[in-house]
Amino acid sequence: MVKVKEDVSSYNKRASSMMFHQAETVIPGGVTANIKHFSPYPIFMKEAKGSKLIDVDNMEYIDYSLCYGALITGHGHPQILEATMNHLKETGTMIFGTPHELEVEMANKLIELYPSIDQVRFANSGTEAVLLAIRLAVAHTNKPKIAKFEGHYHGGLNQMLVSVNPSEDQAGSLESPTPVIESSGIPEDEQENTIVLPFNDLAATEKLLRAHAHELAAVILEPIQGGFIPAEELFIHGLKKLTDELDIVLIFDEVKTGFRVDIGGAQRAYNINPDLTTLGKVLGGGLPVGAVGGRKDIMMQSAANAKGDVFAVGGDSAETTNVVFHSGTYNGHPLVLAAGMKTIRMLEEGYLLDILTSHTMHLRTRLEELYASYHIDMQTIGMGSIFNIVFTKKPVKNYRDMWQADTAFRKEIDMELLDLGIYLKPLNRYSMSISHTLEDIDKTVEAHEIALNRVLKRKYQQAK
């Protein structure tokens, strides 16, 4: 078994600390995305390859964040690098600024992999994809409000930053959650345009949907909440039946789950065809991307035409109201799609996804066995190549069930793991890649045991 370092017993990344303090002077909060921050300071990286990261203190880590799941082939996979470099050399440009053949090729591939998708539009992030999906749903139904599930995250949109992580005293009743705005700078009326639903509770969800059906354009959900809490079969099939009946557009946000649960997303695993699907992360092969796909009658609302061009000086502006506006200079970026197409081709070859899922289950089983041997209540929850570690023996079916988990203990373990060369932002889910090896898994399990013993020893000493 591979041995890991045991000589570091406290979180001390000197160069990262210095760099973070420098960053704080020029970047608000020291990071350019809030999700990248954690206390006392985040770790700054300088190199990466395969399953490994190297920080500015020259410490190596096995990476289980993988850019929050985007890097399913690992860091800098030679085939991905080759595909992007070859495309750049062959075309002679970073971007055309015009339509190009890779847009058609990727759209056809997504239509092939996702039975629910008839047509596709590209964007630059999952957040942008959700924005378009909501706009399409509102235009299609001519209804103003959106329903989302408590604890589900759909990007940084005003209307979606509601009840992502509400506190117990703010969340309201289980059957009818209170909408809680999760950011300053959002007008209060945004709260009125978002209905919050209880995940995996079909009876309560049905009651709320029927009460608001006349004003609801769409229901959006992560079919696997946070990338690790799966929807129950009866719940998600019941939800599909309800939205069909009530003329509400059903949107699957598969930014986290697309290609990781199944190459055709969680919707293929559940055998459900949502009306719209948002994709991102893995689809870009490590480059920024978003996509919306779905029913032709809904997607065609965004079809460009000469009369509906909002940028046409002197054109008929009245015509633009008949078109769902969607644009972006970098939409369908050729380098992004070249990396994405190569990623998909790799995942389709041989048994790569089966091996990846098998390795993920192997790690999950090993970790559960380890903690059980110490008589500690722990379970791993997830599907495909993503999962999370939850310290509770009780079933976890929704956001509120996570309140019963021992997150303080989990954070202590995670902080020790950072010192032992296992990288994951504390309390986040694990993502695996095809670059992770059985040796990586052995080292990870051993690091968990060392981290666990450190935490237990500290607790024992504090109790004396």
**What pLDDT digit, counting tens, does each position of 9-19 carry?**
467 889 999 99
Average pLDDT rounded to a whole number, residues 153-175: 95
* From 41, 61, 153, 270, the catalytic residue: 153
Distances (CA, A) of 116 to 177, 219, 273, 344: 30, 16, 5, 18
253 in active site: yes
Asked if 242 contacts 217 with a C-beta cutoff of 8 angstroms, the reply is no
Eight-state DSSP code of residue 250 = E
The topology (CATH level 3) of 14-73+351-463 is: Aspartate Aminotransferase, domain 1 (3.90.1150)
* From 281, 342, 397, 443, the catalytic residue: 281
Asked if 217 contacts 250 with a C-beta cutoff of 8 angstroms, the reply is no
276/250 Cα distance (integer angstroms): 6
Of the candidates 411, 386, 409, the one whose C-alpha atom is nearest the C-alpha of residue 67 is 386
Burial class (CB in 10 A: 0-12, 13-18, 19+), 316: exposed
281 in active site: yes
218/318 Cα distance (integer angstroms): 26
- Which residues, at least 6 apart from 167, have a Cβ–Cβ distance to it below 8 Å? 180
**What pLDDT digit, counting tens, does each position of 222-266 carry?**
999 999 999 999 999 999 999 999 999 999 999 999 999 999 999
Asked if 182 contacts 194 with a C-beta cutoff of 8 angstroms, the reply is no
Strand partners, 230: 224
The pLDDT score that the predictor gives to residue 6 is: 41
The pLDDT score that the predictor gives to residue 1 is: 36
276/257 Cα distance (integer angstroms): 15
372/318 Cα distance (integer angstroms): 66
Question: Backbone phi, then psi, for 198, in 5-degree steps?
Answer: -90, 120
Task: Please tell me whether residue 417 adopts helix, strand or coil conformation.
Answer: helix
Say whether pLDDT at 318 is over 70.
Answer: no
Q: Which CATH architecture has domain 78-348?
A: 3-Layer(aba) Sandwich (3.40)
Q: Answer whether 14-73+351-463 and 78-348 agree in fold.
A: no
* From 55, 63, 253, 440, the catalytic residue: 253
399 in active site: no
**CA gyration radius, the chain:** 23
Average pLDDT rounded to a whole number, residues 41-58: 97
Question: Per the confidence metrics, is the pTM higher than 0.85?
Answer: yes
Of the candidates 398, 396, 381, 387, the one whose C-alpha atom is nearest the C-alpha of residue 196 is 398
Domain ranges of the chain: 14-73+351-463, 78-348
The pLDDT score that the predictor gives to residue 188 is: 81
Say whether pLDDT at 315 is over 70.
Answer: no
The pLDDT score that the predictor gives to residue 460 is: 83
